[in-house]
Amino acid sequence: MAQRLHLVFGGELVDPSKTQFKDVNDIHIVGIFPNYKAAYDAWKAEAQRTVDNAHTRYFIAHLHRLRDEEMAASSTEELG
């Protein structure tokens, strides 16, 4: 079975109702996690740590969805 890696990251947004970062150079990379539960726990800890700042938001990216080993050519291969 393929690993299902998840990336947790966040930072200050331009507008709290959108997902555009104020400065992409200041994005906080929390880490890459081996499963959704571990990623969720890390996301929740960061979200709770920054709860007083409405412009700071954290996200979970499903890295395993970027590449599908079962397909002959995944969308990432088409880019390069």
List pLDDT tens digits, range 16-37: 999 999 999 999 999 999 999 9
pLDDT attached to residue 42: 98
Residue 79 has pLDDT above 70, yes or no: no
Beta strands 28-33 and 6-12, pairing class: antiparallel
More confident residue, 63 or 42: 42
Q: How far apart are CA 9 and CA 6, in angstroms?
A: 10
> 6-79, superfamily in CATH?
Uncharacterised protein PF13773, DUF4170 (3.30.70.2400)
Q: What is the DSSP string of the chain?
A: -----EEEEEEEBSSTTS--BS-GGG-EEEEEESSHHHHHHHHHHHHHHTTT-TTEEEEEEEGGGS--TTSSS-HHHHH-
pLDDT attached to residue 65: 81
Residue range 49-65, pLDDT digits in tens: 999 999 999 999 999 88
Domain ranges of the chain: 6-79
pTM for this predicted structure: 0.78
pLDDT attached to residue 72: 58
